[in-house]
Chain A
Amino acid sequence: MTEQGVGASPERVGGLARVTGGQAYVADLRHEDALQVKLVTVDCARARIIAIDPTAALAVPGVRLVISAADLPDPMPRFGPQFVDRPILAVGETKYHGEPVAAVAADTLDAAEEAARLVRVDYEELPAVFTVAGALAADAPLVQDPSLRPGDPRSLSNVLREHRYGWGNVEAAVADVVVEHAYRFPMVTQFAIEPHGFIAAPDGDGIAVWSSIQHPNWLQKVLARLLGLPLAKVRIFAPDPGGAFGGKQHAKYEPLVAFMALRAHRPVRLILTLEETFQAVRRGAAEIRVRDGYRRDGTLVFRDVDADYLIGAYADIADRTVAKGSYTSAGPYRVPAARIVARSVLSHTVPSTAFRGFGNPQQIWAVESNMNEAARLLGIDPVAIRMRNLAQPGETFIPGDTPADGAWAETIERAAAMIDWSTPPPTGRGRGIAVGLKSGPTTGLSYSTVRLLADGSVVVYAGTSDMGQGARTIFAQIAAQELGAPLDWVTVIMGDTAVVPYDQQTSASRSSVLMGDSILLACRDIQARLRAMAARLESVDEATVVVDRGVVRIGDRSLPIRDVLVRGLGLLGGEIIGLGEMRKEAEPDHPLGGTAAFFEFNCTAVEVEVDRDTGDVTVARHVTVSDVGKALNPMQVRGQDEGAAVMGLGHTLMEHYIYDETGRIRNLGAIDYRIPTSMDLPLTMDSDIVENEDGPGPYGAKGMSEGALLCVAPAVAGAVQDATGVAIRDLPLSPERVWRALRDAESAVRPDPVEGAR
């Protein structure tokens, strides 16, 4: 058991199918008689749609259906997790390049593709906005129709919402030094290797939808409302996503394929190309101004943050990423006065949505870089300046929210030690360090069902999506540990809303904590029934029976659970069913609607070399340390931490959308948009964890899958500045940008007088 239970690293549950090609992702599913769907788009960002003529498309052999706004209910049904703004197909005008105006369904993909090219769309290009400055200009065209935002005083601007947080009095705070800079974070895309896939089929008097979605229960609600069906008639199948990273949280083209399937009376399937995925999901760009006040000894006396997040044409969950990401802009520090203002700015670009880190990597890039600037200016070590201001365990650092819940100082000290912070870097190299803090889920509701079958094997039902984070393994480990079954006697059923009980969502690194606790409670429910069963069988008082880690103890006797179960169930056999329910209630007075269930905390330290002739940055050493409370499966924890670190290096060193002046993504697709490969890794990657069993999850676990991405960029930029003396406040730190910055610095008078200080 020890090699399989909680805290051990058994092989991934579901791993065998992943290495044999047997894992069926959405695109691998086959439906008899399915129609293939291709989207129809126009080649500009914002267009007034004058007319759509499907005649030529319908003449292509095998074409069964061409659908556009005119074929959908009027008014156009809309959906969205925060604002009900996104139409099923563009109506009246397109809002971004890539937004479909029509869709074709045909017997074959070849026919659908040919017909999609033949759908005639007459349109007129309209002025559009693709930048913060453009969107906020006085004469900017409105991205959203004001009628979608009744009663909203900002509906005549492109500011969807403005979020304000703060405490203390920033204006009155007295600082010896004020450090003020502006930082930019680019648009980047999730780039799950599995492009998004959607299938819908009529299902008796309802509908069935297959989607690589993170939140099947949320999708079920959306489709039920759009189609006027009861929840029980909308069945969502959610096969394991082939990577999701937030981009698969919310409905995209599921409503479209659902309407098409009901119209065609046949299954329809739409598998996006990677290019279409680029035009479906991205992270919000940001322009963030940070003004920090310090005393000479490095004590932070105020922080003033003003941020514009450039979201896309529809809100999706982007405004929530702005609200929640900016909320923690004061960091894990004791800041006496803070003022945080963050705007969600609409633009005629791809709708931004959740992406690992959820609005935090943008602000952490800014505020942690600014802290590194302060350290240089004050001549204080970057580790020391953080330790001086760090909230201590149990200390309230955001008024009204969860106090500091981890060993954050220990985490920083560990990272510093691992990169030999106290000794200078080798000649020609620079070091940088930064920390990342992220608020975990603010509300939650996870039900689970656990069935202990007559032979002692176990079936767990959990609505979490296993998108690579390994939730299925964690849940199986918990059930195996609590119910005494070998790991390979546990089956975890996910991804079918007709079978699996409700789970709010798979996001915010919540599943090990909230669903994990739910499964633990379901197992405890079974254990209570086993206690009663054992007391009856042995004619003892139930209070003398203990069920723990797979055994039933009565006095000094220990019985395997299975023995009690087989005798207790009797001749008819049967099973014991346990129910779990884990809630994190909403707190309506809280600015985010709820306090943090936990905080993710990470410290990243890097050592870099900068090629002055090419601007190429090599990460020689990358150290990432996360406070995880308890690693339920250390091998999977490592995979998540190191994976998040490499993903963070992507937006730090190479990734960004390049928009042209007409709102088209110039580097659309894998050839021109680079993500890290095995050739782009740090020369050494070392990850470690801090475990004090101080989290709210099972056995003291906290959520942990996003932490190691949060502060990669400020750590690397700090190291580049340490190596070269040059500060760069735009991402990515591409060779061209670094080379230009070095050249500009050389042509300036005399570089930074405090060069060499760290």
Chain B
Amino acid sequence: MTTTQRIELTVNGRRRSEEVAVHHTLLEVLRDDLGLTGTKACCLVGECGACTVLVDGDSVDACLVLAVEADGSSVTTVEGLAGDDGLDPLQAAFLATGAAQCGFCIPGQLVAARALLALHPHPTRSEIEEGLAGNYCRCAGYEQIIEAVQLASTTSATSGSEP
């Protein structure tokens, strides 16, 4: 028998109240219960970063967080990056530098980069390499991803703000 619990989340600015299985991860709840499939599943052990989301501003692997642990928190996924006035500078920069190839890792890369820029609005290359070290890209577009983060850090005055 599956035990469930009701949790309250703010997801991409919208308040959600969900009855979730207590053993389900935040990743499962986002993808399967809330239909937010932009966040991707790959390794499920917190290595690849495909499932990176922001929980109260911190970059986390959604596969390692039980949904009930996130009760009461504010979650930002890739679907929440763009604002009313268009793409986030990071999203635009990823397009401009050709950073998105197959695209599967890109939601996680973007969210991790958002957290990085919140910490270091103008990161050095090595800060970017370190900040994105938990996000695998097998197309290995790392150079273009790093360039995109550099570009976004110079094109946006607001890129350091909390979402």
Residues of A within 8 A of B (CB): 9, 11-12, 14-25, 27-28, 30, 110, 190-195, 240-245, 271, 273-274, 467-470, 635-636, 638-640, 642-647, 669-671, 675-679, 681, 685
Chain B residues with CB below 8 A from A636, complex form: 98
Bound complex: CA of A284 vs CA of B100, how far in Å? 29
Please indicate the chain A residues that have their CB under 8 angstroms from the CB of B136 in the complex: 193, 670, 675, 677
Asked if B41 and A27 make an inter-chain contact with CB atoms under 8 angstroms apart, the answer reads: yes
* B101 to A, closest residue via Cβ: A468
Q: List 11 A-B contacts (CB under 8 A).
A: A18-B100, A18-B106, A22-B38, A193-B40, A194-B42, A240-B102, A240-B103, A273-B44, A639-B139, A646-B142, A670-B42
Q: How far is the CA of A190 from the CA of B87 in the complex (A)?
A: 32
Residues of B within 8 A of A11 (CB): 95-96, 98
- By secondary structure, the A interface counts as loop
Whether B143 pairs with A19 at a CB distance below 8 angstroms is no
Closest CB of chain B to A495's CB: distance in Å? Answer: 14
Closest CB of chain B to A393's CB: distance in Å? 31
Q: Once the chains bind, are A21 and B98 in contact (CB under 8 Å)?
A: no
B102 to A12, Cβ gap below 8 A?
no
**Which of B66-74, B77-85, B155-163 binds A?**
B77-85
Query: Which residues of chain A have C-beta atoms less than 8 A from B23's C-beta?
Result: 110
Evaluate contact between A19 and B139: CB separation under 8 angstroms.
no
Q: In the complex, what residues of A have CB within 8 A of residue B134's CB?
A: 677
Alpha-carbon separation in the docked complex, A470 to B141 (Å): 13
Distance of A193 Cα from B47 Cα, bound (Å)? 11
How far is B98's CA from A638's CA once the two chains are assembled, in angstroms? 9
Contacts of A14 in B (CB 8 A): 103
Whether B141 pairs with A642 at a CB distance below 8 angstroms is yes
Q: Is the pair B129, A647 in contact by a Cβ cutoff of 8 Å?
A: no
CA distance A669 to B44 in the complex (A): 10
Interface 1/0 per residue, B98-121 and A, CB below 8 Å:
101111111100100000000000
| Residue of chain B at shortest CB distance from A277 | B42
In the bound complex, CA of A644 to CA of B44 (Å): 25
Q: How far is the CA of A536 from the CA of B38 in the complex (A)?
A: 52
Nearest B-chain residue to A676, judged by Cβ: B140
**A residues in contact with B43, CB < 8 Å:** 274, 669-671
| Contact A669 B45, beta carbon cutoff 8 Å | yes
| Chain A residues whose CB sits within 8 angstroms of the CB of B97 once the complex forms | 635
Q: Which residues of B are found within 8 Å of A678, using beta-carbon distances?
A: 128-130, 132-133, 135, 142, 145-146
CB pair B21 A21 closer than 8 Å: no
* Residue of chain A at shortest CB distance from B132: A678
Q: Which residues of A contact B36 (CB under 8 A)?
A: 21
Residues in B whose Cβ lies below 8 Å from that of A28? 31, 37
Point out the residues of chain B lying under 8 angstroms from A467, CB to CB.
102
- Give the chain B neighbours of A675 by CB distance below 8 A: 136, 138
A192 to B137, CA, bound (A): 9
Nearest-neighbor residue (CB-CB) of B38 within chain A = A21
Q: Which of B21, B78, B98 contacts A20 (CB 8 A)?
A: B78
List of A residues within 8 angstroms of B132 by Cβ: 677-678
* CB < 8 Å neighbour of B101 from A21, A273, A643: A643
Which residues from chain B contact A18 at a C-beta distance below 8 Å?
Answer: 100, 103, 106
Q: Known A470-B101, A669-B45; judge A20-B138 contact (CB<8 A).
A: no
Whether the pair B104, A685 counts as a contact (CB closer than 8 A) is no
Q: Are B96 and A670 in contact (CB under 8 A)?
A: no
> B39 within 8 Å of A by Cβ?
yes
Closest chain B residue to A682, Cβ basis: B143
Q: How far is the CA of A669 from the CA of B47 in the complex (A)?
A: 9
A24: chain B residues at CB < 8 Å are 37
CB-CB contacts below 8 Å: B7-44 with A: 21, 23, 31, 35-44
- Check A468–B42 contact: CB distance below 8 A: no
Please give, as numbers and ranges, the residues of chain B lying within 8 Å of A646 by CB-CB distance. 140, 142
- Beyond A23-B103, A110-B2, A242-B40, whether A670 also contacts B48 by CB under 8 A is yes
A271 to B42, CA, bound (A): 10
Residue of B nearest to A635 (CB): B98
Q: Which residues from chain B contact A195 at a C-beta distance below 8 Å?
A: 41-42
Contact B42 A193 (CB under 8 A): yes
Closest A residue, CB atoms, query B91: A19
* CB-CB under 8 A for A193 and B95, given A274-B42, A678-B133, A685-B143: no
Is A21 a contact partner of B143 (Cβ separation < 8 A)?
Answer: no
Residues on the A chain within 8 Å of B94, using CB: 15, 19
A20 touches B95 (CB 8 A): no
Instruction: Give the one of A9, A190, A194, A638 with max B CB within 10 A.
Output: A194
Chain B proximity of A238: nearest CB distance (Å) = 14
Q: How far is the CA of A15 from the CA of B101 in the complex (A)?
A: 8
Selected from B38, B50, B129, the residue in CB contact (under 8 A) with A193 is B50
